């Protein structure tokens, strides 16, 4: 009894329990069952605790009164035996004409995955509480799930409160219920009927727009939201829904204009600016998105995803100052992202050729997170770029000690040995191991070609380098390698074409620039 008294019934999420009036009765019954009988002259066989002990599972025994059924049903629900709980609640509900008991019976039937039982009980609930909007809405949704379209339509129309302060909240709640993706496609016709039955309801128009968007009907959504805006032109929620509908209809400029108008009126609305920035990002307008993210960072944003996105966009745009500010704020405001921010900062500083600072960041990160493979790989790349081949090799071999099949580390170490040392055969063997693991990775394919070239076989190298070049749409470093092999093979105009195309996209790439200056000054 102590375990039962201290346990908490599992609350199903499908339906809110409409009241708590039956709980005092339940608790009174439970407490009465746990109190010992007065006096010492009660025969042991007649003591209440002895009688209760006869059945090891009181839920499985015969239950007589409706209140005992309810108590046993709740105990079964606590134990996760929802089918048993549903059967007991249905029996009790059939004998007690109490809307709250009926509501709980519906709730348990849903948890037991018994839709027919739930509909029957919900119908009884509506009979007992004909004014309950909640009961009618729940019944209507269950009828929709069961494919009873006409019955559901009538039930949900009947659920509408009369015009007044209760109508829009009830319609808004129904709109939320109808967003359930498990409902049939005809659910949109139901919401249209609700909107027609309540032509002055703002909530009905917005609920129809939201539902239409989720069901892939943006034209219907746009019509509904335009109806709402005709009566309330400045309604921000409706204007944002209109932007969503326009985006779904392939009219991004019109949608962007809505965001710009809204921000002109509410420049300090950071949530709106964040939505606008994400929309621009989704549209591939990274530069415009970065303007919005910069404003958010300037305004003091601390959200980790926002700061991470800002840092990445800023790095791509070459705005190192903004990227560093976003990363450092990310780590100050969100300690859980410290390792990630250090990784990105170290890589940013390396790309900017600030190798001493990059190494310091990676060292700090590895002091705090010595087992972090990404930080160790990042430090290896910085060390190699700074000419510390021995240090870079040590980091990469530490990674390979823990994971001998790490293709990225195998490739990085192999390429370094092939490109920067005379240990070409050893490096080529490491690259071949990486290639066996990841045969479609362009970086590894490039390394295979470069290893073949460094081993004196430019003809074999050419096939690998052409493939890598194609897979990356002309990556500058791979273009440098491909051009050099073509040059050595005597195909100098072809080499110049490859280099020129790469330079048009990335003229400042150090490997590409060095290769051209060395071979074709």
Domain assignment of residue 263, yes or no: no
SS3 of residue 471 by DSSP = helix
pLDDT range class, residue 85, cuts 50, 70, 90: confident
pLDDT range class, residue 101, cuts 50, 70, 90: confident
**Which residue segment(s) compose the domain that 91 sits in?**
1-130
Domain assignment of residue 175, yes or no: no
- Map tokens 């992202």 to a residue: 337
**First-residue to last-residue Cα distance in the chain:** 91
| Measured distance CA(94)–CA(215) in Å, rounded | 39
The predicted structure's pLDDT at residue 44? 35
The predicted structure's pLDDT at residue 135? 87
| Measured distance CA(278)–CA(151) in Å, rounded | 42
Domain assignment of residue 317, yes or no: no
Domain assignment of residue 326, yes or no: no
The predicted structure's pLDDT at residue 307? 93
- Map tokens 């302060």 to a residue: 165
Domain assignment of residue 39, yes or no: yes
The alpha carbon of residue 325 and the mean position of all alpha carbons in its chain are separated, in whole angstroms, by 26
pLDDT range class, residue 64, cuts 50, 70, 90: low
Span 370-410, pLDDT tens digits: 999 999 999 999 999 999 999 999 999 999 999 999 999 99
Which CATH number does the domain housing residue 120 bear? Answer: 1.25.40
Domain assignment of residue 516, yes or no: no
**Percentage of residues of the chain with pLDDT beyond 70:** 88
Q: Residue 26 pLDDT > 70, yes or no? A: no
Domain assignment of residue 58, yes or no: yes
Residue spans of alpha helices (H) in 266-406: 270-282, 286-298, 304-317, 320-333, 338-351, 355-368, 373-385, 389-402
Domain assignment of residue 169, yes or no: no
Q: Residue 71 pLDDT > 50, yes or no? A: yes
The predicted structure's pLDDT at residue 27? 34
The predicted structure's pLDDT at residue 189? 94
Q: How many domains does the chain have?
A: 1
The alpha carbon of residue 465 and the mean position of all alpha carbons in its chain are separated, in whole angstroms, by 38
């Amino acid at each position: 009894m102590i375990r039962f008294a201290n346990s908490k019934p599992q609350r199903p999420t499908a339906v809110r329990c409409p009241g708590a009036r039956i709980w005092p009765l339940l608790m009174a019954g439970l407490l009465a069952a746990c109190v010992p009988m007065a006096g010492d002259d009660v025969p042991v066989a007649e003591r209440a605790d002895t009688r209760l002990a006869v059945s090891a599972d009181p839920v499985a025994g015969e239950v007589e009164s409706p209140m005992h059924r309810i108590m046993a049903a709740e105990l079964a629900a606590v134990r996760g035996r929802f089918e048993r709980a549903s059967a007991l609640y249905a029996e009790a509900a059939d004998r007690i004409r109490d809307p709250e008991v009926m509501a709980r019976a519906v709730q348990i039937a849903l948890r037991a995955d018994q839709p027919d039982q739930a509909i029957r009980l919900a119908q009884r609930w509506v009979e007992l509480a004909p004014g309950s909007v909640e009961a009618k809405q729940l019944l209507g949704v269950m009828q929709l799930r069961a494919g009873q379209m006409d019955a559901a339509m009538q039930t949900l129309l009947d659920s509408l409160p009369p015009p007044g302060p209760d109508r829009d909240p009830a319609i808004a709640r129904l709109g939320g219920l109808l967003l359930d993706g498990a409902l049939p496609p005809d659910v949109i016709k139901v919401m249209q009927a609700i909107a027609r039955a309540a032509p002055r309801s703002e909530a009905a128009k917005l609920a129809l727009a939201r539902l239409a968007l989720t069901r892939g009907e943006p034209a219907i959504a746009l019509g509904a939201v335009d109806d709402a805006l005709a009566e309330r032109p400045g309604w921000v929620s409706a204007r944002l829904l209109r932007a969503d509908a326009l985006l779904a209809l392939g009219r991004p400029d019109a949608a962007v204009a809505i965001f710009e108008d809204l921000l002109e009126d509410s420049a300090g609305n950071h949530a709106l600016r964040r939505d606008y920035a994400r929309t621009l990002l989704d549209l591939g307008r990274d530069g415009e998105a970065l303007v919005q993210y910069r404003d958010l960072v300037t305004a003091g944003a601390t959200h980790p995803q926002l700061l991470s996105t800002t840092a990445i966009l800023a790095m791509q745009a070459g705005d190192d100052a903004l990227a560093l500010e976003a990363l450092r704020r990310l780590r100050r405001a969100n300690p859980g992202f410290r390792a990630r921010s250090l990784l990105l900062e170290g890589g940013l500083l390396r790309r900017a050729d600030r190798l001493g600072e990059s190494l310091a960041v990676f060292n700090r990160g590895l002091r705090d997170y010595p087992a972090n493979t990404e930080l160790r790989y990042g430090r290896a790349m910085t060390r190699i770029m700074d000419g510390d081949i021995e240090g870079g090799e040590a980091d990469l071999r530490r990674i390979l000690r823990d994971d001998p099949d790490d293709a990225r580390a195998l490739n990085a170490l192999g390429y370094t040995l092939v490109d920067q040392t005379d240990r070409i055969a050893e490096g080529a063997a490491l690259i071949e191991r990486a290639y066996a693991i990841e045969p479609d990775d362009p970086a590894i394919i490039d390394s295979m070609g470069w290893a073949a070239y460094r081993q004196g076989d430019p003809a074999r190298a050419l096939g690998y380098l052409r493939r890598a070049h194609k897979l990356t749409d002309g990556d500058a470093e791979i273009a440098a390698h491909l051009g050099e092999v073509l040059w050595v093979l005597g195909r100098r105009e072809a080499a110049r074409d490859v280099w020129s195309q790469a330079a048009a996209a990335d003229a400042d790439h150090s490997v590409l620039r060095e290769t051209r200056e060395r071979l074709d000054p």
